[in-house]
Structure 1
Amino acid sequence: MTFLTRASLANRAIVCLITLAVAAFGLIAMSSLRQELMPSITQPGAYISVDSTGLSPDQMVDLATEPVEDALNGVSGLTSITSTTTTGSAQVAVTWPFELDADETLRAIKAAVDGVKSALPKDAGVAVQSGSAADIPAMVLSAGSSSDAKVFAESLEQNVLPKVRAVPGVRAATLQGQESQRIEISLRTADVDRLKVDPAAVLSTLQANAEVVSAGQIGSDQGEVAVNVGPGIESVDAIGALPVQIEDGVVLIKDFADVTLKSEPAGSISRVNGKAALTIQVMAAIGANAVDISHGVTAILDESAASLDAEFVPVFDQAPFIEQSIEDLSTEGGLGLLFAVIIIFAFLRSWRSTVIAAVSIPLSLLITMIALLWTDNTLNIFTLAALTIAIGRVVDDSIVVIENINRHAERRVPTVEDIVASVKQVAGAIIASTATTIAVFLPIAFVSGVTGQLFRPFSITVTIALAASLVVALTVVPVLAYLFQSPGARRRAAAQAALAGETSASSDDRHSDAREFARAEMAAPEDRLQRGSMSFLGATHRRPVITLSASVVVLLATFVLATQIPTDFLGESGQQSITVEQKPQASGSVEERLAAAEPVERALKKVEGVESVLSTIPGAAVRAGEKKVNTFEVALEEKAKAAEVQPRIERALAELGEPKTFDVVTASASGADAGIELRVLGNDPKALAGASEALVAVLKKESSVQKVSSDISGEQPVVQVVVDPLKAAALGFDQQQIATAITAALNGTPAGSVVLDGQERDLVVRTADVSGGAEAVAATVLPVTPKQTAAAQKAAMDQLEAEQKQKSEEQRAEAEREVDKQIADTASQRSDLRRQLGGLRAQFGELQASAPVVPEPQSPEQQAAIDAETERQEQIASMASAIEQTEAGIEAADAQLTQLREGQSESAAQQAEADRMAEAQRAAGEVRGTAVRVADVATVTEEMTAPSISRVGGERVATITVTPKDGRLDAASQALDAATAEVELPDGVRYEVGGVAAEQDEAFGQLGLAMLAAIALVLLVMVMTFRNLRQPTILLIAVPFAATGAILGLLLTGTPLGLPALIGLLMLIGIVVTNAIVLLDLVNKLREGGADLDAAVYHGTRLRLRPILMTATATIFALLPMAFGITGGGVFISRPLAIVVIGGLISSTLLTLILVPILYLLLERSRERRMAKRAERRARRENALLENKESGDDDVQIFGGDDDREPAREPEQR
């Protein structure tokens, strides 16, 4: 690799320009990197929600949960399928490995769910969303305004939230706590029954009259004019005045219903510091940047605040903590850089050399920034911790190079060839040491799960920084070493080179002379550091047995003490929140929950260190089965610590009485200190509940447990409606229709919307009083079915036909009676006439018999008088006949007139009857069935049942969550083991541990394998470096001794052993061998130059003392700010890591200077003794052979000579 050094020195100007360009691009990259608290450790997943109104948890499991689970089992790659089922709702959550493509997996999940939709209930609503239903929000803000609350809420919903949802990375943005109103048409049951009102007719009336109907446009003198039909609804009274058709006519809505403007039931009520407030909750998508989201949302809210006359107060925001953590870690890194430079100057005592060595730090880090941007990594506490760790390590190679150049410059002014030769002497060592450290992090790339997600960016950052530092040490440092010489020194060096006739070849020849090199190195004078240290080191080297025995004792004692180190996963992030849960009271009304929350809010606000309290009170619209628990999110003041505030909160709540009604839990924003999950599995609900209760009871007694909770709560009353299928079918109902009707009665049936006072209001029709449990449900009026209507119409038509038949029979009977009467009257008249005729005949006979004799006229006068009398009689008779005829005509006219009048009356009666029958037929066609109640088709009872059903892999599960006290995950795990051993589980019930404990076990196991792989890779690199197995074995034996400092550091500082500490131990594997390689490389070169073993070890240790101490001390001081947590940012990652590395560096430095030389001496002395014995045996064989030849015995053969001579041909140790 010295060709890089030679090329760089030959093109010094180009190297300088490239260095400046890299620095500029590095600064640009640093400002362009996305920021986040830590890489996402949320398991990739999605959840499927299925809502079907009115179904019990058991029914939902059969009809919705199981079909969805079965469909998801066909999606490849899913790691878990869990579900939670409550009344009318099923939530199925799935997860998959980080390595799978999230978009492709989500598409497969949606396809599987779409394929099973036909098997779900008809009214089921299905939604598939990525992420988890329990994700931590990116931001929670309180929104307040002096304007009208309703108008303000609508402005936020319509104008602000759409912009917030459009911010890149925002998955969802919701508004909570708003009070919206709706118009309720509450049916009065008694009036509905009395008037026989069909609720469906009410809905039709509202939907038909709620809005103005556009009928098009018409031309006029003013142009096209819109034609609107109906005035619409402009007031609540107008709704009550709408007509509804019933069987007996038309009634108004107000005649049987109350129309009021009411507030809608809320899912939850939000309050900030005891005052009602609107809450904006922003959820981030998987992999989204919380800082970018915060900045984007804040900009939108700032822009909207003025126009809305609003104030937005952050209740929870990850961005400030992220930015503060990054700033703090950057500060600690800057302090570490300063300390490292001071240490370098203290050792080198030259500002030029210090600047040259120190330049490698920012340059390597800037190169790393470019690589992070190029590989799409973010700037988070892990990558920053890696950069801070690298500050001490990236300077190592440059220190070794510049120290070697300076040491040779003490003898003469270095020329270009001298610098190349100096670099060449250490190039192999620094390349090998850097390669071993990089090899340590290579296995991290293959670690899966949470550990891989967290530390893969860490390992990439360290690897890039180390590789960059190596390149800088081989290129930039030699150039600067040459350029930083004074002009006079450079002229003297050039004159010396010209005078001596030095050339490149002669320089190579001279420096390739191993003996010359060894003599020059060993002749170098001792400085004060060497004189002070070598007396102690020499004493340990001369007493190897005592030194090794003491080392073994320390090692064994350290391993014994290591069992006392507590363990955790990631530790506390520092951004802790305190959550107070108030358990539900006996009553479940919203008013009582609000009343119970008020004293808690006042008590929490008075606690020292509490900045604000966000209260969430479950509202009236909470689903059945969901916990109605008041939750108080306590935001702490900037300098307050959760560990100090929590006891104050507990004391304040205890003063309220009944402290058992409260749970106080601290939680980290990273979610890494979540609780341990104990999953109790079984298919028998009663056995499952019993086992869960027994385990909870035992765990609550453990002092190492902060909180124990189970998702199996006590049974709750459920109104069970068992439909009689025969009765229901007879009336045209099925079970789903009845469930829908009950839901409409309980929650109301949407009937459209109207605009009142400029605001849109929903119309809802509902039963006036639905309280009273099973009795109220049983009394619920069901809508009239088409079958009921058809049956009612058929009954009406049948009744009409019966009436017509009866009327016809009555008319026929009346006609028969009329005919009989006419016949009787006629017969009677005929008899009367016959009697009259006989009397007339008799009278006529008597008249004829007694006719008077008319005397003959005696005179003409008598004749004239007789004739006149006769004529008069004839006239009288004629007139009488005329009168009789006239009277007969009058009688005939009267009879005809009477007949006509009777016909007219009969026709009118027939028409009236026909009209009546037509109206009766029309009314029969409009008849609707009579509404029935639920009790008429079903049995309604009140039963006790589980509020929710949880399943894992198709098996019922009860999840017990154990929150460790003081973050002692190991103690909580031991308590969990003790509890499971104490409680005897019923048959068919088993348990498994999940949550953070399972993640810790998996992570520790994977890192253990990564350490083994790292050791194997380090061994491979060392074998390639030393080209034998002996000396790498020395370093492998020394690795466990290096852990003593790390373990003691954890014990002395009380730091738990978590993932950051394990990564520090992994780094130690590379750090231990780094300095040892530099040391043994020089020892081997001195031996190649002819130095004996003891002298080579002594002078090698002496000459490498300063670079080893300098690199170790620089790294230690660079990490001290992180170890002490001076700024506090990212301390849960950086502090354990720094403590382990510092402790390990101290022990590994002593190991390199004391134990490695001793082991090397013992191994090489043993090897020299074996070689001496082999040489002695070879000499004896050769002497014997010579003697045989001299005696002339040519037939004598020495067997095994080839085998014995083979070791003698082994080349000298390099």
Structure 2
Amino acid sequence: YKEPKFNTVDAVKSLEKAISELGKALPGYEFIKVLDQGTYINNSIGEVKNTLIIGILLAVFVLYIFLRRIGTTLVISIAIPVSVIATFNLMYFNHLTLNIMTLGGLALGAGMLVDNAIVVLENITRLREEGMELKEAVINGTGQVGAAITASTITTIVVFLPIVYLHGASSEMFRDQAWTVAFALLSSLVVAMLVIPMLVSTLFSDKKKKAVISAPVKFTWYTGFLEKTVEKRKLVILLAVILLGATAFLIPRLGSEFMPKSESAEFTIELKLPEGTSLERTYSTAINTEGIIRELLGDKLRLIYSQSGEDITSTLSQTSAVKGENTASLKVILADEYASETENAITLIENYLKTVPGMEVSFTREETALQTALGTTESPFALEISGKDYNELEKILNESKVILEQNPGLYNLTTSMDEGSPEVEVSIDRFKTSYYSVTVESIVNQVRSYLQGAAAGSFEREGEMKDITIKLGDISLHQLRDLMITAGNVKVPLSELADIRTIVSPKEITRRNQSRTCYIYAMVRPDMAFDRIVRDAASLLNSVTFPADYKITFTGEELKRKESTSNLTFALILSLVLVFMVLAAQFESIVQPFIIMLTIPLAGVGTILTFFILGKSLNMMAYIGIIMLGGIAVNNAIILIDRINQLREAGMEKKAAIILAGSQRIRPIIMTSLTTILALLPLTIGIGESASLRSPMALAVIGGLVSSTLLTLVIIPCVYWVFDTFSSFVRGRNKPAVEAL
């Protein structure tokens, strides 16, 4: 086992080197790695690195499509490496290392690193197009958007604060990622405010009157569209309300789970033969089963190996099933290209082996290091039954297990009261011991001597002293009854002094909160939503009659799912409060922050539709993405509302200010959204064992950002008009009262 203070990858490398040296010293022997979390970590880090690079390249490609000038594209793209280098420095001083989570944070923030630079450069360009001198355009252009991009950056960062200070798996796993994203965004803000203006003023000549950006991508149609939209604002707002209501109707239809399942190419098969089966028989059965699996899987199988009997130090399987001479474990590893077919392979083997009489079969999907750290369990479904009487608990347990077997989402049902090991119980009759004048201790010692042996001296052999122990060989129950016990001056058989019988003892007896407890464990079908499986189980269990003081509780991943959902819901609410406080400070208003924060439910529309269309369940990773959306979705509205305020402060009429601000800000809004979306896209389609863990977070952000961007450009101007009109009406009514005071 690895010491906690050592790095897993380094420990594996050292071990591989030692094994290589051992192999040279033992020719003819082959060493096969049974478990190697170092390979998983290396592969996962490599996947995230590739994803990060692809995301950056896609973001730069989007910039070039909009800008159509290599020089200008490079000016904005410079924000990425500079921000990344600055982030590495901040990580170093905060003792953060490069790992799956911190690199994942960089991958999540890759597209956002250029957002601030795009807004700054685009505003400088607009002023140049209006004929302003380069130096003046750089100063005024940066100053006009400085407050807006600062506010948008802070809103994105503050949503991570509740996650950082939460307790449990959410905080432990995402704390490093949150800090990394925060450092990256702060770095990008500094680059946009200082580096980009310097590069523009240095690299572009003031003699050329053409714009810094010569972009063929124009949105001239949006001006007329926005004008008609504002005129029909009541209809637009009504349609938006209907859309939000219809989307809310879909939420209960989405499944929910604790963590997404990783497509691991490995699984373990646990075989259990009748109690008392010899180790030789168990080994023979395991070898035969291994041959059957090879025939069933064919070329899909990369490696299979087995272990028969009990070995408490074995890491062949991650399961904690009770081992004995009658049990065997077979670890199956599929070829990498068939990793997505693991569930089909399990079903195929299960359907064949369950027809074999006298053998119980169970399956365990192997978990990755990240899933293990997040607390996923080998049996996701767990039901606790508690009460006082052991026999009553056993009755309820068996009845519940039979009923739960009707749930199509569950398989591999086992219980904590599964038949234990057979034992021989010797109940000594104290009346007879008194009659024969023999003590209980004497009887116990004599039986122990027969079965375990008694020392009978020692002898010298090859210069070493060897102990001599005399004991009986393996004996039957009948022979045990006939063991002669010395009782005073006579010898009597053990059966004369005690009642001897065979019993089956339970494997474990647990207590919690002063009550006896027992458990039902099961695996769940990955193609069914976990929360629906639990609901169906609860519905089936309604038919079970429970005496008073007996109750059932869903534990396992269901308990963790509820806890994480509760924690992340609190984090979402707190993050929204923080976002509102930042916006209220920026705009010095209570009304306008409400307008801007309406983009958050609009983002929720896209997230819910994305998961509904793809048939995916919401999980902890998706909830983290939703919390991120709370800070990202408002950025477009901040830029838009800030420009409207600037134009109205300059004396422009409300409708004209809304339309002009929309036409001026649509290009940076579309560009920043596209760079963020395309930079996240590789996270949704990445391949590898950890890709399925990153995908829900990226899908939540992408879906929400698409809907919030499109709907912001349509709905927010209309909502701004309505709220501003209402505010003016309220101020008009209150004005006489104020003057009277």
TM-score when normalising by structure 1: 0.55
Shift of 1:957: 1.4
Distance 1:621 1:1136 in 2: 37
Shift of 1:690: 0.7
Distance 1:1063 1:947, change over 3 A: closer
1:959 aligns with 2:548: no
Structural mapping, 1:380-391, within 5 Å: 380-391=99-110
Q: Name the SS for the 1:364 alignment partner.
A: helix
Give the equivalent residue in structure 1 for 2:272.
583
Distance 1:976 1:436 in 2: 42
Opposite residue 685 of structure 1, the aligned amino acid is Y
Shift of 1:1146: 0.8
1:576/1:668 contact within 8 Å kept: no
Structural mapping, 1:677-696, within 5 Å: 677-696=382-401
Shift of 1:683: 2.3
Structural mapping, 1:576-655, within 5 Å: 576-585=265-274, 587-606=276-295, 607-608=297-298, 609-618=300-309, 628-641=326-339, 642-653=342-353
1:1052 aligns with 2:613: yes
Distance 2:495 2:100 in 1: 64
5+ residue gaps, structure 1, are 1-164, 171-284, 497-520, 783-787, 793-929, 1179-1201, 1207-1214
Match of 1:423 among 125, 142, 148: 142
1:1034/1:1156 contact within 8 Å kept: yes
2:55/2:110 contact within 8 Å kept: yes
Match of 2:363 among 641, 664, 667: 664
Larger Rg: 1
Give the equivalent residue in structure 2 for 1:573.
262
Greater length-normalized contact order (CA 8 Å, ≥ 6 residues apart): 2
Shift of 1:525: 12
Opposite residue 634 of structure 2, the aligned amino acid is V
Distance 1:1076 1:460 in 2: 25
Q: Name the SS for the 2:473 alignment partner.
A: coil
2:599/2:637 contact within 8 Å kept: no
TM-score when normalising by structure 2: 0.88
1:681/1:957 contact within 8 Å kept: yes
Distance 2:138 2:542 in 1: 69
Once the two structures are superposed, what CA deviation does each residue of 1:1148-1174 show, in whole Å capped at 9, x if it has no partner?
Answer: 102321111111111112233445566
Once the two structures are superposed, what CA deviation does each residue of 1:191-243 show, in whole Å capped at 9, x if it has no partner?
Answer: xxxxxxxxxxxxxxxxxxxxxxxxxxxxxxxxxxxxxxxxxxxxxxxxxxxxx
Shift of 1:387: 1.5
Distance 2:607 2:677 in 1: 13
1:1142 aligns with 2:702: yes
2:275/2:421 contact within 8 Å kept: no
Shift of 1:385: 2.5
Once the two structures are superposed, what CA deviation does each residue of 1:10-40 show, in whole Å capped at 9, x if it has no partner?
Answer: xxxxxxxxxxxxxxxxxxxxxxxxxxxxxxx
1:703 aligns with 2:401: no
Shift of 1:954: 4.5
Distance 1:1059 1:1124 in 2: 19
Structural mapping, 1:135-284, within 5 Å: 169-170=2-3
Match of 1:561 among 236, 245, 250: 250
2:66/2:215 contact within 8 Å kept: no
Opposite residue 546 of structure 1, the aligned amino acid is L
Distance 1:962 1:653, change over 3 A: closer
Distance 1:777 1:633 in 2: 43
Opposite residue 627 of structure 2, the aligned amino acid is L
Distance 1:593 1:777, change over 3 A: farther
Structural mapping, 1:523-534, within 5 Å: 529-534=218-223
Q: Name the SS for the 2:597 alignment partner.
A: helix
Shift of 1:667: 3.9
Distance 1:1144 1:477 in 2: 29
Distance 1:626 1:756, change over 3 A: farther
Match of 1:779 among 473, 483, 492: 483
Distance 1:1088 1:620, change over 3 A: closer
Once the two structures are superposed, what CA deviation does each residue of 1:869-891 show, in whole Å capped at 9, x if it has no partner?
Answer: xxxxxxxxxxxxxxxxxxxxxxx
1:340 aligns with 2:59: yes
Once the two structures are superposed, what CA deviation does each residue of 1:813-869 show, in whole Å capped at 9, x if it has no partner?
Answer: xxxxxxxxxxxxxxxxxxxxxxxxxxxxxxxxxxxxxxxxxxxxxxxxxxxxxxxxx
Give the equivalent residue in structure 1 for 2:508.
948
Structural mapping, 1:808-887, within 5 Å: none
Structural mapping, 1:953-1032, within 5 Å: 953-966=513-526, 968-1032=529-593
Structural mapping, 1:885-904, within 5 Å: none
Match of 2:193 among 445, 449, 474: 474
Opposite residue 700 of structure 1, the aligned amino acid is E
1:626/1:947 contact within 8 Å kept: no
RMSD, matched Cα: 3.5
Q: Name the SS for the 1:421 alignment partner.
A: helix
Distance 1:616 1:406, change over 3 A: same
2:386/2:515 contact within 8 Å kept: yes
1:459 aligns with 2:159: no
2:271/2:359 contact within 8 Å kept: no
Q: Name the SS for the 2:616 alignment partner.
A: coil
2:407/2:537 contact within 8 Å kept: no
Q: Name the SS for the 1:354 alignment partner.
A: helix
Opposite residue 252 of structure 2, the aligned amino acid is T
Q: Name the SS for the 1:311 alignment partner.
A: coil
Shift of 1:996: 0.7
Distance 2:685 2:598 in 1: 31
Once the two structures are superposed, what CA deviation does each residue of 1:383-402 show, in whole Å capped at 9, x if it has no partner?
Answer: 33322110111221121122
Q: Name the SS for the 2:34 alignment partner.
A: strand
Distance 1:955 1:357, change over 3 A: same
Distance 1:983 1:1053, change over 3 A: same
Opposite residue 382 of structure 1, the aligned amino acid is M
1:605/1:611 contact within 8 Å kept: no
1:390/1:465 contact within 8 Å kept: yes
Opposite residue 635 of structure 1, the aligned amino acid is I
Match of 2:236 among 547, 561, 572: 547
Give the equivalent residue in structure 2 for 1:1085.
646
Shift of 1:528: 5.6
Once the two structures are superposed, what CA deviation does each residue of 1:748-778 show, in whole Å capped at 9, x if it has no partner?
Answer: 56899999899x9986735232321374276
Distance 1:414 1:748 in 2: 103
Once the two structures are superposed, what CA deviation does each residue of 1:315-356 show, in whole Å capped at 9, x if it has no partner?
Answer: 221222221122112112111110100111222222222112
Shift of 1:298: 1.1
Shift of 1:961: 1.0
Once the two structures are superposed, what CA deviation does each residue of 1:544-593 show, in whole Å capped at 9, x if it has no partner?
Answer: 12211211122111121222222221111222522222232365222221
5+ residue gaps, structure 2, are 314-320
Q: Name the SS for the 1:572 alignment partner.
A: coil
Kindly tell me the number of residue pairs found equivalent between the two proteins.
718
Give the equivalent residue in structure 1 for 2:80.
361
Distance 2:604 2:15 in 1: 47
Opposite residue 1089 of structure 1, the aligned amino acid is A
Give the equivalent residue in structure 2 for 1:1073.
634
Shift of 1:417: 5.4
2:611/2:618 contact within 8 Å kept: yes
1:483 aligns with 2:174: no
Shift of 1:603: 1.0
Shift of 1:450: 1.7
Distance 2:468 2:7 in 1: 42
Once the two structures are superposed, what CA deviation does each residue of 1:394-417 show, in whole Å capped at 9, x if it has no partner?
Answer: 221121122222333345585555
Distance 1:780 1:682 in 2: 44
Give the equivalent residue in structure 1 for 2:318.
none
2:79/2:191 contact within 8 Å kept: yes
Distance 1:1116 1:314, change over 3 A: same
